[in-house]
Amino acid sequence: MNYILTGLRENLRPPNPTFSVDHIPDLRGRVCVVTGGYTGIGKEISKALLEHSAKTYVAGRSPSKARAAIQSLKESTGREALFLEVDFSSLASVRRAAQELLACESDIHALYLNAAIMGVPIEQLTTEGYDLHFGTNVIGPWYFTKLLMPALLRGRASSPDQHARVITTSSAGAYMSSLHWDTFTDTPARRKLHPGILYFQSKLGATIVSHELARRYGEQGIVSIAANPGDIKSEIYRNRPAFAQWFTNLMLWPTPMGALCPLFAGTTAEALQYNGEYLAPWGRLARCRDEVYDSEVGRRLWDWLEGQVARHEMSDSESL
């Protein structure tokens, strides 16, 4: 219960922000990738990066939404984002997208893992048969990061501050559930859980991965931070019933506010000291559930992800 109260307080009563997009330094020469970068919080992150001269890729599964957003961003910033098509519920799509990006960019300086889903029906699974929340919010982004790590390490070397950053959009939902290890795949145990719990555990899983990434790659100059954007008006609520969505919107912060914490983590010199940490709105150091900082939990989840992806990569290679 204490975790739930902490998460609610964190989002409902954050202090006024001390960081704004005006504090972002010039990002000329930097390559940034924003997953889910053409709607909601992701679009606001992309806008700020473009305004500060970063070469910015918006990654997601909808070419039509991306085209519309890229045009809108060009009109507002004078700069044009690039589209990378990827569906995080498909490991094959993640692999193709990473290969396409690596063919275009040798160095990546910041990866914003922002795309996520929430409240999807229990019957829906990823292409490989994983729980759709966990697959889209944890497995796909982890695999994408793994495949892009060579470019991130090169980006670290070419970055003015000698670091590359991986910023995971977390959530107060990470407080709301522990990991149910037997529900990552489509098991009877999974079918008994409410989709909200499956979403909450996926945000916890993503936050654990963020901390473990910092532990494994921090000495090589990779800064990994989990950033809670706050309760924000966003397309992530699109699966809620109309009345519930209307009621929720009354309590939500404007969408641009949601970009502040990820942008603080991804652009400021101050954030370099927060490697492996969890930040609350609007860029405050906070503490998430104890599992996030438990090295055994982090290793176990990372090893599970490695094993799952290796199994599918082997299956794909055998089918060729």
Q: Please list the active-site residues.
A: 170, 199, 203
β-sheet with 110-113: strand ranges across: 82-85, 55-60, 31-35, 110-113, 164-169, 222-227, 278-280, 284-286
Query: Which residues, 6+ apart, have CB-to-CB distance to 279 below 8 Å?
Result: 225, 226, 227, 228, 261, 264, 265, 271, 285, 286
Count of all residues that appear for the chain in the document: 320
CA–CA separation, 220 vs 63, rounded Å?
Answer: 35
CA–CA separation, 238 vs 229, rounded Å?
Answer: 17
- Two tokens at 150? 């060579």
CA–CA separation, 202 vs 37, rounded Å?
Answer: 20
- Two tokens at 309? 């992806």
Single out the residue of 1, 38, 44, 3 nearest to residue 24, CA to CA: 44
- Two tokens at 65? 């939404």
Task: Read off φ and ψ for residue 229, nearest 5 degrees.
Answer: -80, -10
Whether 142 contacts 168, CB under 8 Å: no
Report the amino acid identity of residue 191. Answer: R
